[in-house]
Amino acid sequence: MITIVSGLPRSGTSLMMQMLQAGGMPILIDPKNTADPDNPRGYFEWSGEIGENAEGRAVKVLSMRLFELPTGHDYKIIFMRRDLQEVLVSQEVMLTRRGQKPPPITDEDERLIVAHLMEIRDYFRDPHVLHRCDHWELMGSPREVARRVAAFIGKPLNLDAMAAQVDQKLWRNRPSTLLPR
């Protein structure tokens, strides 16, 4: 079995990878994986092929690549969900910090993102394959979310170590229109 951590960029996928690693699960990441101000603990990404080298490990796969997963493997997918406005604000801050001028997000862009998320929901209907994890709930109840994730993937993980990875100070880049949760 391969555990996949997925979601939109800036939805909490790196945090979930940190939690799994702290809990005792082997992970597959690029050795050049570095931290920066936008992800001070690193991105936990893997740019190589997903195959036998990923068996028994957790691998981060952004949502756009889920449909490219190779056949012949059993997958457990932890899908991170975060308020779309928070995701968009976080992406804008990251791009701006990198000296890029982010394009304005249109209503059509948002509609396409929502359609993409619905396509994933419809494609991965089996609750034994896809576990939805809400970012706001993770930030508020990390040990409970860790318990559910460990039960979903069927591995005995260190729940306290997983929960300890959640740092409220890193829940940044929220739109000013959102109330703190």
Which residue range(s) make up the domain with 131?
2-168
Burial of 4 (0-12, 13-18, 19+ CB in 10 A): buried
pLDDT of residue 36: 64
Higher pLDDT among residues 87 and 150, named by residue: 150
Write down the mean pLDDT value for the chain: 84
**Would you say residue 82 lies in a domain?**
yes
How many angstroms separate the first and last alpha carbons of the chain? 35
pTM: 0.84
> What stretches of the chain show up as alpha helix (H) in DSSP?
13-23, 84-97, 107-123, 135-140, 142-153, 159-163
**Would you say residue 14 lies in a domain?**
yes
**Would you say residue 92 lies in a domain?**
yes
Burial of 12 (0-12, 13-18, 19+ CB in 10 A): buried
**What are the structure tokens assigned to 102, written together?**
């982010």
Average pLDDT over residues 100-107: 82
Indicate which CATH number applies to the domain containing 74.
3.40.50.300
How many Å apart are CA 93 and CA 38, to the nearest integer? 8
**Would you say residue 177 lies in a domain?**
no
How many Å apart are CA 181 and CA 21, to the nearest integer? 26
**Would you say residue 29 lies in a domain?**
yes
Asked if pLDDT for residue 179 goes beyond 50, the answer is: no
**Would you say residue 13 lies in a domain?**
yes
59 DSSP β-pair partners: 4, 28
Count CB atoms within 10 A of the CB of residue 20: 27
**Would you say residue 115 lies in a domain?**
yes
pLDDT tens, position by position, 104-154: 888 898 899 899 999 988 888 777 788 889 888 898 899 999 999 999 999
pLDDT of residue 48: 80
Q: Count the domains in the chain.
A: 1
pLDDT of residue 181: 40
Q: Name residues whose C-beta falls within 8 Å of residue 54's C-beta, 6 or more positions apart in sequence.
A: 2, 28, 46, 73
**Would you say residue 159 lies in a domain?**
yes
Is the sign of the CA dihedral 108, 110, 115, 120 positive or negative?
positive
Burial 124-142 (b: 16+ CB within 10 A, else e): beeeeebbebbbeebbeeb
